[in-house]
Amino acid sequence: YVPGDTLRHLDWRVYGRTQRYYVKLYEAETNFTAHLLLDASRSMHYGSGALTKLDYAKFMAASLAHLIVSQRDSVGLAVFDAALRTYLPPKGSQSIVRNIAAELERVEPKARTQIAALLHEFARRIPRRGFVMLFSDLFDHVEEFLKGLNHLRYCGHNVTVFHVLDPHELEFPFNGTWRFEGLEEEPALTTQPKRIRAAYLAELNRFVTQIKGYCQRIHADYVQVDTSRPIEAVLSAYLISRHHAAPGTMMR
pLDDT value at 54 more than 50: yes
pLDDT at 14: 80
pLDDT value at 185 more than 80: no
Q: Which of 30 and 173 is assigned the larger pLDDT?
A: 173
φ/ψ bin of 30: left (φ > 0), alpha (ψ from -120 to 50), beta (otherwise) = beta
* Helix runs in 71-111, H state only: 94-106
pLDDT by residue (tens digit) across 80-126?
988 889 999 999 999 999 999 999 999 988 777 789 888 998 898 88
pLDDT at 13: 82
pLDDT at 27: 47
- The 10 Å Cβ neighbour count of residue 132 is 25
pLDDT at 99: 97
Terminal-residue alpha carbon distance, the chain: 26
pLDDT at 250: 56
Q: Which of 168 and 6 is assigned the larger pLDDT?
A: 168
Percent of the chain with pLDDT over 90: 65
pLDDT value at 163 more than 70: yes
pLDDT by residue (tens digit) across 9-29?
778 888 788 888 877 765 444
Across-strand partners of 131? 34, 158
Sign, CA dihedral 17-18-22-27, equals: negative
Provide the edge-to-edge strand list for the sheet that holds 221-226: 84-91, 74-80, 33-39, 131-136, 158-165, 221-226
d(CA 73, CA 30) in angstroms, rounded, equals 5
d(CA 84, CA 62) in angstroms, rounded, equals 19
d(CA 138, CA 207) in angstroms, rounded, equals 10
CB 206 within 8 A of CB 213: no
pLDDT by residue (tens digit) across 228-248?
999 999 999 999 888 776 655
φ/ψ bin of 61: left (φ > 0), alpha (ψ from -120 to 50), beta (otherwise) = alpha
pLDDT at 4: 67
pLDDT by residue (tens digit) across 144-160?
999 999 999 999 999 99
Tell me the Cα Rg of the chain: 22
CB 30 within 8 A of CB 71: no
CB 63 within 8 A of CB 74: no
Q: Which amino acid is at 148?
A: G
pLDDT at 251: 53
pLDDT at 28: 47
pLDDT at 24: 73
pLDDT by residue (tens digit) across 189-225?
899 999 999 999 999 999 999 999 999 999 999 999 9
Give the 3-state DSSP-derived string for 3-48, with helices as H, strands as E and coil as C.
CCCCHHHECHHHHHHHCCCCECCCCCCCCCEEEEEEECCHHHHCCC
